[in-house]
Amino acid sequence: MKFYDALQLDPAILKRKIAACDEKKEKAYYWFAMSVRSVLIVAAAIIFISLLSSVFGTDNTPMGVVLFCMILGIRFVNFEYCVKDSLVTLLAVLAILVLAPSAAAVIPEVFLIPLHFAAFFALLYMTTQRPEMGNGGLYSFAYIYLTGNPVTGEALVRRIFLALVGYLICGAILFAKHRDQHTATRFHHVVRKFDLSTPIHLWQLRMALGVSLVMTAGQVFGVERFMWMGFACASLLSEYPYSGKVFTRFWQRIVGAIAGSLAFFVLYLILPESLHALMGPLGGLCLGFCTDYRYKTAMNCFGALMLGAGIYGIHGAVILRVVDTVLGVTFGLIFAALFHRVAAVRFLSRSIEE
């Protein structure tokens, strides 16, 4: 395998190849490819996000993060319908990501659930026809992250222009990589297939309703960094195939959050202050080697806590990360159980009868 091709592979695939190798030289080749891949992604992220932040303002750094993640994802995963319609829905997706979070920050609380539900469900329905490919996680992260970092006024205008730049980049990649795929499938064909008795649409509904409720609760009750609750809940509900059993991931998320927060706390105290800024990129580098959900959760704590420590202090950030995670997954666990009970009676049973 060419080295460039190896760099395109997911860590899970690279680790399977390593496990299947008999020669040490070949194992070292794939380990080296995984290492270079991780370094290149982190370096590209730093350069890309820093450049956009310098042009569109640091208050729009979160949008830069979202666009970088979209670029990584859209290279490999499309929307499962023709590129012409995909380009239109991509514009709609970015419009939602820009406008809905800002609207949620200023509208009356009574409208939060409808706004979050409509925006989140539309994102999932337009982008995620095959949840196993990861688009659901990508766009749920984007919405929750931007909802936790809204902007208004001049900053919102700059975010709109930044989104347009992102549209040109992502649209060009989408067209170049996927223009010959799903040519006979239009978006209206996807709309006509909507049926809540199917696992995919049931999964989309559960994700959208659960996340909209937990995000609204976080905003209404003034939970600090409520988006961390949203991440935890969405991670629990995003597991696919659809199932009412989310208890395993519930514990994995809690264990990962505690382990990652403690690891960050210890390193933060041990390392000199001049090296603290490197802890976020360190988490990103380590994430490039992770395939297990618990380890991914732990490494994701580094970037979040690096930002949180600057706002709440290291002790406050660590406590908040763990508490928000527990609140988020507990809500997700209860919601998933209730939703599955209702769905089993109203939708899944109807599907069996048919």
pLDDT (tens digit per residue) in 102-154: 999 999 999 999 999 999 999 999 999 999 988 999 999 999 999 999 999 99
Say if residue 177 is in the same domain as residue 87.
yes
**Residue-level pLDDT at 347:** 60
Say if residue 138 is in the same domain as residue 18.
no
**Exposure string for 157-182, b = 16+ CB within 10 A, e = fewer:** ebbbebbeebbebbbebbeeebeeeb
Say if residue 85 is in the same domain as residue 177.
yes
Please, which contacts does 16-19 make with residues 24 or more away whose CB atoms are closer than 8 Å?
A: none
Say if residue 71 is in the same domain as residue 50.
no
Domain boundary among 35, 55, 75: 55
Say if residue 205 is in the same domain as residue 338.
yes
Say if residue 176 is in the same domain as residue 70.
yes
**Residue-level pLDDT at 250:** 95
Say if residue 318 is in the same domain as residue 345.
yes
pLDDT (tens digit per residue) in 294-310: 999 999 999 999 999 99
Say if residue 229 is in the same domain as residue 115.
no
Residues 286, 143, 106, CA angle at the centre, nearest 5°?
135
**Residue-level pLDDT at 281:** 93
**Residue-level pLDDT at 354:** 47
Say if residue 85 is in the same domain as residue 178.
yes
Say if residue 227 is in the same domain as residue 250.
yes
**Residue-level pLDDT at 28:** 92
**Residue-level pLDDT at 349:** 54
The tens-digit pLDDT sequence of the chain (354 residues) is 788 888 888 898 999 999 988 888 999 999 999 999 999 999 999 999 999 999 999 999 999 999 999 999 999 999 999 999 999 999 999 999 999 999 999 999 999 999 999 999 999 999 999 999 889 999 999 999 999 999 999 999 999 999 999 999 999 999 999 999 999 999 999 999 998 888 899 999 999 999 999 999 999 999 999 999 999 999 999 988 888 788 999 999 999 999 999 999 999 999 999 999 999 999 999 999 998 999 999 999 999 999 999 999 999 999 999 999 999 999 999 999 999 888 876 665 554 444
Domain boundary among 179, 194, 209: 194
Say if residue 169 is in the same domain as residue 219.
no
Say if residue 168 is in the same domain as residue 37.
no
Please, which contacts does 301-306 make with residues 24 or more away whose CB atoms are closer than 8 Å?
A: 301/256, 301/257, 301/260, 301/261, 301/263, 301/264, 302/260, 302/264, 304/228, 305/260, 305/261, 305/264, 305/268, 305/279, 306/264, 306/276, 306/277, 306/279, 306/280
> Which residue segment(s) compose the domain that 35 sits in?
1-55
Domain boundary among 55, 76, 93: 55
What is the number of structural domains in the chain? 3
Q: Give Cβ neighbours of residue 175 (< 8 Å, ≥ 6 apart).
A: 83, 87
